Amino acid sequence: MFSVFRFRRTLVSLAVLTAFASGVHAEDVPLGPVQTWYPVAGSVDYERGNSRNVLVPIRADGAYRLNVTGKGVTVAVMDSGLDTAHREFTEPGKLLRGFNAIDGSSNVTDMVGHGTHVAGLVAAGRDGAGMFGVAFDAALLPIKVLADNGTGSTTYLDRGLRYAIGKASIVNMSLGAANVYNPAALQDAVRAGMLLVVAAGNDRAANPGWPARFAKEGWANGQIIAVGAVDANNRLAAFSNRAGDAAAWFLVAPGINIASTYRNNQYAIMNGTSMAAPIVSGAAALIQQRWPTLRADQIANILFLTATDLGEPGIDPIYGRGLVNVEKAMQPVGTVTTTTYNGRSINVLSGATQLSPATSRLWQLATSGQLRVIGFDDYRRDFNVDLGQTVVRPASLTLAQVFGTLDRRISVAEKVLANGATVAVAYDSGPRSAVGEEHPRLAAFSLLARNGAHEASVGVGGLATQYFGAGGLALDGNPGVGSLEALGNPYLSLLPNATHAAFAEETGGVKWKFGLLDAGVADDLGLYSVALPTSNSALALPRGRAGALEVSKSFGMSAVSVSLTKTSESNSYLGARSNGALTLATYTTT
């Protein structure tokens, strides 16, 4: 058995316990003056000060915004006891019946003040006065393992730890031992599924002290977190032990000028890794409340993976994993997936959806937050994911779209052949060279031939809208509606840049048209697309075929047209393209 020493309070300073293991021992570390008053007008505002020194650096608001406060989680504090009458712990259900591991009683009176200070950082209530802990709605199980003179032994530590099994899921140990000792009780706690958060120690050592250093052992299963202290600038505190050989299981948290509860219903400011450890314990309690099915090793690993990296990039022997980051810990780790109706798992955060005019209603749903799905990250944590973030706003109807290609640098040349056939060729002005020269590119062409009441039309590159729909109507005065893309058959816009072949016959003033369209031939031929480009290059180009039957009749300056169209699309749905969670179908027919 090893004797366990703890800090002692002088008239002007407090000494903070380091974390070692064995007979628990700690060198006295001088601290700032003991604060022994309540916050009143003109005095220190501890709640605001703690928010600045503790909660802001670890971004605890990232949990509070989600109404995550530690409620329903119990944290055991193995220390010098607790001032159970302190105003910050009087909320019903805040304190479980304590245990005195020294004499076996329930008397956990804190004569040192250290245990009360530590407990406050974990879960002091948020009542608008004094200060509040990181997990201010969590419950506390006070276990006294240090005597009234601040000394103890690993026998008391082991007894207290075994008492906590089955009563708390997280154990905070802001204490340490002089050297390595039998970790049987720690192993029992690990097997019981508990998360152990242990102060790294205040010896300026290259490695954490014991029992924090047990975190590196295989039997610890990643369920022991060693915690060092940093100052307000996120620099390792001069007194703090380093991550050393436990770097992969090492976090840091604020440990300088930390205000918290103190004995006799007072408050005090302390320094030390003893103050950093309960901040991490509180962060762990927040995660457990939000996802109560997580195992202890999963909670620890989430804290490791989401920590703010400090020092050398990655895991380093000074800061280990880095500064605990509650906000990031509340966000997904890894891939967020959901399961479709056919059992397929899809990534809900990848990909994008390019809407079409026919699916513009989805944009309204996206902007109003109505496109949501439950996704699960690598730890099977559930998240309400807004799929609206993956939706690309549909292009608005511009003058360039309404009046053909006037603003697109597209040149269209038409020529009437001797036999009466009309040939139309569209050129894009192309990219400019270094000296400003343009290099035109063939974009589209079409041929329209008439023979009495019969006519035929073929085209490549999306000129079908000038033949079908209002664009192909014959009106007196020839107002040129054929050049208005907006008047084309709207369903044919689902096949941008389509190639078409059609024939027509006029009987009794009624014209019957039938045609076939194929989107993709122009791309295969290497023609420059006249269609609006996608705003996401990762989206596959739509392919599809359509058959159109159209009946029209002209009445001088007016005309009427009725059409029946069957469209089969690939890589799109009603013209919308998606490679993410909103992918509606690979092949569709409308």
- 554-579 pLDDT per residue, tens: 776 677 778 787 877 766 666 666 66
CA pair distance 190, 101, nearest whole angstrom? 19
First to last CA, the chain: 81
3-state secondary structure string, 220-249? Answer: HCCCEEEEEEECCCCCECCCCCCCHHHHHH
Token match 């020839």: residue?
478
Q: Residue 564: its pLDDT value, please?
A: 83
Residue 104 contacts by C-beta under 8 Å, 6 or more apart in sequence?
A: none
- Pair 35, 245: CB distance under 8 Å: no
- Whether the ω angle into residue 490 lies within 30 degrees of 0, i.e. cis, is no
Q: Tell me the sheet residues that pair with 264.
A: none
Counted residue by residue, the chain has a size of 590
Q: Write out the catalytic residue numbers.
A: 79, 114, 274
Longest CA–CA separation in the chain, Å? 114
CATH topology of domain 3-329: Rossmann fold (3.40.50)
CA pair distance 496, 180, nearest whole angstrom? 73
Q: Where are the domains of the chain?
A: 3-329, 337-392, 399-589
Average of per-residue pLDDT across 36-57 = 57
- 209-259 pLDDT per residue, tens: 999 999 999 999 999 999 999 999 999 999 999 999 999 999 999 999 999
Its pTM stands at 0.72
Burial tier of 37 (Cβ tally within 10 Å: 0-12, 13-18, 19+): exposed
Token match 């390019």: residue?
354
In one-letter notation, the amino acid at residue 372 is R
Q: Is the model more confident about 410 or about 70?
A: 70
- 77-123 pLDDT per residue, tens: 999 999 999 999 999 999 999 999 999 999 999 999 999 999 999 99
- Pair 184, 27: CB distance under 8 Å: no
